[in-house]
Amino acid sequence: MTQSRTHTCGELRIGDIGEKVTLAGWMENLREVGANLGFAVLRDFYGTTQVVIETEDMMAAFRKINKESTVQVTGTVRERSSKNEKLPTGEIEVVPESVTVLGRCRYNELPFEINRSREADENTRLKYRYLDLRNPDMRQRVVLRSRVVAELRRRMSEKGFLEISTPILTASSPEGARDYLVPARKHPGKFYALPQAPQQFKQLLMTAGIDRYFQIAPCFRDEDARGDRTPGEFYQLDMEMAFASQDDVLEVLEDVLTPVMKEYGLYGDRVTGAPYPRIPFREAMSRYGSDKPDLRIDLTITDATEVLADCGFAPFAAGSRIKAIVISDFRESRKWIDKHIADVEVQSGAKACWFRMDENGEIVGGIAKFVQDRRDEVIRALGLQNDTLVVLASSEKEAQALKTAGFALKIFGQDLPGHFDKEQYAMCWIVDFPMYEIGEESGELEFCHNPFSMPTGGLATLEQAERGEIDPLTIMAQQYDLVINGYESASGAVRNHDPEIMVKAFELVRLTEEDVKAKFPAMYNAFCYGAPPHAGAAPGIDRLIMLLAGEDSIREIIPFPMNKNAADVMMGAPGVVTDRQLEELHIRVTAAEEAD
């Protein structure tokens, strides 16, 4: 044991009675019973130990110490008369001979109570994150993260993957999000970029002859925060395999992730077994209204266009696409329904409606009056039984109707225990993504998911689209996402390793061969020297651990996260730098925001 202690605060047991020990940790609490009797709780990384104070002098010494000061206590272990079965050390206590302050807390008041820090305002927690991390719950998140990462490394290494670090300072490239730029002092007017992902480097490693690569890779994207995504930086298990197919990658990740989920997740063996279900993108959208379906919910979307179109309800006029979620064994109130319909409309930005079939087989509530004339046809088409709720979404556009129905499926399903089996990890692969889509802002053809993916059918399919023989929107890509409990948890693809196919793929989105050479010079040139077929993926470490820990916010499992505004309130980043620093970097700030 180290010089400051003979034991940790979570180590002593009934077998240590009579032993003289030295403990070191933070004074969590002091409870005074009288002038010469009190109880102090000492806490370190490993647990807590009760210290019983029985002399006036020792009581006076402890009384001078503020809570959360670090102290060293030397004393004798004895059996507790009143045991605490909830604590590993609850059968013993330490009677102190001396107490020494190692690091004094100079504040009488703390920003929050350590053991209740998670109840505090988030910005306060992040400002004092070093105190927040003293909370045993938060400590366990740090431990979980460390153990999961170590286990992922071990399993990847056992499968023959080499851990290789790729550069942090690199060139800016169009990969879907905003880059973080770093000015280059020795190259005035030029900038490095922090990598959004090691995508190009890992493909270059395959071209270099590395057969299996992985790393726990930091990625940097200047994007907005949300519950399952932190702004600034995140980590992923980045991996790539040469001479590999989609099946090869999926099998490796299933072999690696399934036991990790079972060992470290909240729900033990309630993990989807390999091979995980594979759901084509278009099927996922038509059945769940999302390419991130939460398979813990047993509801699906039904097309009700034929049976409900032009029924007299204005949103169902001819030309509309109508989608229904049929919820059996439904007995909630009208108030409950209206609340959830309102939530759907807020989250989707579109209208939703409903009717139900009551216990007597009558169509009632919501838009029931528009359904009565078609009662029998509706019952047959939707398979209705007594006590069934039907939630409906419609739009002139199929995609919008499905999107709204997808929100309804999730919002209603997650609040209905009979349709939501929460305590499990439901895994699936979404496969066969479209290669292209029409951009919402540009109105023109754009890459849908990943520009480096191999199109299904290769060069011949792209040339057919170029000649107008097929719609480019029908071209599929060999791309795949891993979805866990409704969260995208990994993304990958079979890569486009042929420069001719790569150029043709970019030409369909109005980029020439010269554009490709300019934007991706290293990769284009490397592929011209003979690249092997290769494929890979990248599970998100932060999101995976969030799911394993049962958290709703990803910031709970990151030791030092930024807040929702991409600010580090503890370190004061981003911050102002000196004029001299700017001059060295050949930068002049023309406008600056007022400090918050």
Q: Give the model confidence (pLDDT) of 351-367 as tens digits.
A: 999 999 999 999 999 99
How many angstroms from the chain centroid is the CA of residue 82? 44
> CATH number of the domain that 76 lies in?
2.40.50.140
- Domain contains 534: yes
- Domain contains 469: yes
Half-sphere exposure of 9 (CA within 13 A, CB side): 23
194-219 per-position pLDDT tens digit: 999 999 999 999 999 999 999 999 99
For residue 138, pLDDT beyond 80 = yes
Specify the pLDDT at position 592.
66
Question: Do both 466 and 506 map to the same domain?
Answer: yes
Closest of 78, 13, 28, 71 to residue 52, by C-alpha: 78
Closest of 467, 542, 529, 531 to residue 496, by C-alpha: 531
Rounded to an integer, what distance in angstroms lies between the CA atom of residue 571 and that of residue 128? 10
**Cβ partners under 8 Å of residue 109, min gap 6:** none
How many angstroms from the chain centroid is the CA of residue 314? 40
Question: Do both 249 and 180 map to the same domain?
Answer: yes
- Domain contains 339: yes
Domain enclosing residue 355, as ranges: 297-419
Specify the pLDDT at position 595.
46
- Location of structure tokens 């503020």: 66
- Domain contains 592: no
> CATH number of the domain that 391 lies in?
3.30.1360.30
Closest of 250, 167, 262 to residue 215, by C-alpha: 167
Question: Do both 159 and 245 map to the same domain?
Answer: yes
Do 49 and 89 contact (CB within 8 A), yes or no? yes
- Domain contains 109: no
Rounded to an integer, what distance in angstroms lies between the CA atom of residue 22 and that of residue 3? 9
Rounded to an integer, what distance in angstroms lies between the CA atom of residue 77 and that of residue 370? 78
Residue 316, both tokens: 């169902």
Specify the pLDDT at position 54.
94
- The CA-based diameter of the chain, rounded to the nearest angstrom, is 94
Question: Do both 215 and 148 map to the same domain?
Answer: yes
Mean of all residue pLDDT scores within the chain: 94
**Cβ partners under 8 Å of residue 38, min gap 6:** 30, 31, 32, 52, 53, 59, 62
- Domain contains 167: yes
Specify the pLDDT at position 593.
57
Rounded to an integer, what distance in angstroms lies between the CA atom of residue 239 and that of residue 206? 11
State which of 49, 75, 103 marks the end of a domain.
103
What is the value of pTM for the model shown? 0.92
Rounded to an integer, what distance in angstroms lies between the CA atom of residue 438 and that of residue 446? 6
**Cβ partners under 8 Å of residue 526, min gap 6:** 203, 204, 207, 208
Average pLDDT over residues 90-94: 96
Closest of 167, 170, 131 to residue 28, by C-alpha: 131
44-89 per-position pLDDT tens digit: 999 999 999 999 999 999 999 999 999 999 999 999 999 999 999 9
Helices (H) and strands (E) in the chain, counts: 17, 22
229-266 per-position pLDDT tens digit: 788 899 999 999 999 999 999 999 999 999 999 999 99
Question: Do both 129 and 256 map to the same domain?
Answer: yes
Number of domains the chain is built from: 3
Q: What percent of the chain has pLDDT over 70?
A: 98
Specify the pLDDT at position 596.
46
Question: Do both 201 and 155 map to the same domain?
Answer: yes
**Cβ partners under 8 Å of residue 449, min gap 6:** 433, 434, 435, 477, 479, 491, 493
Rounded to an integer, what distance in angstroms lies between the CA atom of residue 15 and that of residue 208? 59
Question: Do both 305 and 241 map to the same domain?
Answer: no
How do strand 352-357 and strand 388-395 relate by DSSP bridges?
antiparallel
**Cβ partners under 8 Å of residue 193, min gap 6:** 170, 171, 172, 173, 179, 180, 181, 182
- Domain contains 6: no
- Going from the C-alpha of 538 to that of each of 98, 206, 551, 555, the distances in angstroms are 53, 16, 21, 20
